[in-house]
């Protein structure tokens, strides 16, 4: 069973139909929307500030979401896919974005709607990733514009697939 722990008077809250892998860890000021999946070895550490997760979000194996004490929060919109072994630290990920495996997104960065952060990229603090773009590299830089409709379809398909996968474990 997942570790769900209260701290500093905050207890994590989950929406409907949320899958928490057996060894996922959800701590403190964390709110998770409906139809989300939090996969194996993932840590959502809302001990020092808030973590807010929308609907139909999948946070894949080994990811860590954290914040800065009194300085940043982590916000993840709807229909977001976060790949394996990602670190999100006090950043905002807008609806329909995709964060590739092993990426790092630092405090006060904003990943725009439908944007894609390539695997292994490092998005530095305060970076503004425009909606519907691909950013890649260390530090992450603009690569190209995406077709917004196409990226939305792809990202929603991934989100729906992860909802299906999570149902296999119930």
Secondary structure (H, E, C), the chain? CCEEECECCECCEECCCCEECCCCEEEEEEEECCCCEECCCCEEEEEEEEEEECCCCEECCCCEEECCCCCCCEEECCCCEECCCCEEECCEECCCCEECCCCEECCCCEECCCCEECCCCEECCCCEECCCEEEECCCCEEEEECCHHHHHHHHHHHHHHHHHHHHHCC
> pTM higher than 0.85, yes or no?
yes
Q: What is the pLDDT of residues 49-87, one digit of tens each?
A: 999 999 999 999 999 999 999 999 999 999 999 999 999
CATH homologous superfamily of 3-168: Hexapeptide repeat proteins (2.160.10.10)
Digit-coded pLDDT (tens) for 9-53: 999 999 999 999 999 999 999 999 999 999 999 999 999 999 999
């Amino acid at each position: 069973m997942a570790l769900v722990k209260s701290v500093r008077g905050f207890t994590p809250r989950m929406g409907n139909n949320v899958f928490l892998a057996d060894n996922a860890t959800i701590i403190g000021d964390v709110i998770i929307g409906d139809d989300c999946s939090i996969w194996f070895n993932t840590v959502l550490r809302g001990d020092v500030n808030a973590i807010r997760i929308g609907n139909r979000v999948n946070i894949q194996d080994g990811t860590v979401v954290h914040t800065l004490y009194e300085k940043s929060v982590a916000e993840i919109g709807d229909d977001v896919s976060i790949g394996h072994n990602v670190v999100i630290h006090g950043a905002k990920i807008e609806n329909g974005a995709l964060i590739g495996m092993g990426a790092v997104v630092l405090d006060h960065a904003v990943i725009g709607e439908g944007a894609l952060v390539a695997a292994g990229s490092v998005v530095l603090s305060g970076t503004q990733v425009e909606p519907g773009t691909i950013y890649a590299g260390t530090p992450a830089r603009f690569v190209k514009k995406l077709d917004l409709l196409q990226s939305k379809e792809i990202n929603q398909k991934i989100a729906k697939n992860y909802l299906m996968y999570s149902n296999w474990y119930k």
